[in-house]
Structure 1
Amino acid sequence: MSTDKQSRDEIRARIKPTLDKVAVKGLRAWLKAIGLSSSAYTRPTITNLVADEIAEKRLAEDALERALIGFEEASDMRIYLYKLDELPKVDTRKWLPNRLLNTGFALTKIRTFAGEKTKPMSPVYAELEGELLRVKWAEEHESLKIDDKTGAVVKEPVPRRIVLIADLASKTAELRMNPPETRHAYEDASGRTPSELYYQAYLDKVSDLLECTLLPIEWRPVVRQLVEEEEPRVVRIHIDNHTNQSNTKAKTHSSRADVRDDPDWKLAYKKNGESWAWDAQSFYWLPKVSNGFLTRELYSHIDAETGYVKVNADCSDEEVNYVVSQIRAR
């Protein structure tokens, strides 16, 4: 076996476990983002392509790992946005490091994969640069499904990731959370595990960690502004599911259409738009107006009533950062 072939095989073996953690759609989006768009559409062909790029020194393995950690911390997330109220009026560097250490975090400058963390609220890492804080937890939930053939309940462990990003200078924060599975550690008095308890447990954890009050942003004006914005449109609306007084919904059928171009939608909006509650809306963020931040249309769903935006199961950290920045700008 030639040295070159051996090197590629060794690289392929090293990177495969890392690539296997990311959905193929996400890997293809990442390849396009770094200028490696190709005919690699399956996991094996993507793995071979990335191994070749590393072997030819066109891609660094640590850059690959950083990008894929970003996917772990951005994909399939509910994202809650807050203003931080009543933060301690002292230098962050004097109190926060000790607080993080006391809650089980090791301060680091290198982000890491979560790994096999099964216990609730298992600390992964904490990164503090000036007044920008990034904290990552992990835990394991249990999925329950019925086997179609046997009717038996099939139990499957599912990793969950939770990431806090707080800018203490601007007093803003976002909390990214994988949705809970059927069973998790957060029970009510009767032993049930409603999803609300899981979300609330982390909100309480963040509030306690930062010794402040979390004030959620108002989402309804954001939804309305995104729907009404023209020239340029920053989003495409494929399915319109506004909640309005007559419970009217409209749907497009073309794969790239925008429901706002439909004459019936325009008429309904002109007649009833002021009565719409703006409680929920799905969007596709458009790359052509993103100044290069997006390389593809990116799906998200805003639930203004509960107060979060949900993103794809294959998002990069950069894509989520773009969506959050656009929401905060409105």
Structure 2
Amino acid sequence: MFLEVSQLGVHYAGGSHAAVDGVSFSLQAGEIGVLIGPSGCGKTTLLRAVAGLERAHAGTIRLAEQLVSSPQVHVPAEARQIGMVFQDYALFPHLDVARNVAFGLTHLNAVQRGQRVNEVLELVGMGHAHKRFPHELSGGQQQRVALARALAPGPRLLLLDEPFSNLDVDLRERLAHEVRAILKAAGATALFVTHDQLEAFAIGDRIGVMQAGHLHQWEDAYALYHRPATRFVADFIGHGVFVPATLMHAEGGVVARTALGDLSGHDECPLPASYPGGQCDVLLRADDIVHDDHAPVQARIVRKAFRGSEFLYTLRLGSGETVLAHVPSHHDHAVGEWIGIRAEMDHVVTFEREA
């Protein structure tokens, strides 16, 4: 593994409370990892610990098999060969683009420095902008220059802290896709912090969901969405609700009996003995619920949100449970209207019943 974080603990300055508590994950060379979670969950502190800007109070960080952090060892930030991109870009306003990018290349002679500046500016699609100043660039262009400057010295690892948070929503996801392509073309290993799920899905090979200093799950986007390891991940990622269910043996296997009917998928349900009395909660994603006028189950529309190609309907069953459904936008039903729905699932994800 290129980056290996093991049981890392980081305390807030001057206190015993852990901002990062027992976190373990790894990245292979050339992979892009993303840390996501609510504000104050510890993701930026974790990034700063990897950078060498925070000390480890427990556990270890290894970079290319070199121990760089432990309670006894602290390799300073400037010796870790790590590049950083910040949310405010941190470009020097009095230097043009070429001199901004060349800033960290003092170990090269003038010819080598010019060649490297040309290479990375071409890589990020800013090869035309050598003589322009930061104030003459759009936010997205400034972000590309900041990325070029971070890549120029050839860091072992690139860290990006909410790099798109100052940009328009429409631009953020597009730039995330572009930055992923740039990092892959550069063969860079990167760790990225964001609070935006669409950014995380667009850029990450591996995504870690954090809460209160703990890392709940470290997987690809598909697994986080469809096979969340904890109730928090299930609730935090995507649109979904939990409905009460009873696991039962039935013809053909185990089913989860709910107000929507008996649910099963291609994967086997957990056995009824997994929960006391088989009582549990089932996660239903908005894309698990299909609008079907001929379905026996009816639900009342209590809220609708137009998303262009689809509506996100919030629906209440006659039994009182609430579910969500993505419905193509040409099915434009009124709030208060009753429509037919059915569940169509590949796998049934269950959690302990909440009181």
Q: Verify same fold: TM over 0.5.
A: no
The alignment's TM-score, normalised by the length of structure 2, stands at 0.23
- Greater RCO, 1 or 2 (C-alpha within 8 Å, sep 6+): 1
The alignment's TM-score, normalised by the length of structure 1, stands at 0.24
Tell me which structure has the larger Cα radius of gyration: 2
Please identify which structure carries the higher helix content.
1
Please identify which structure carries the higher strand content.
2
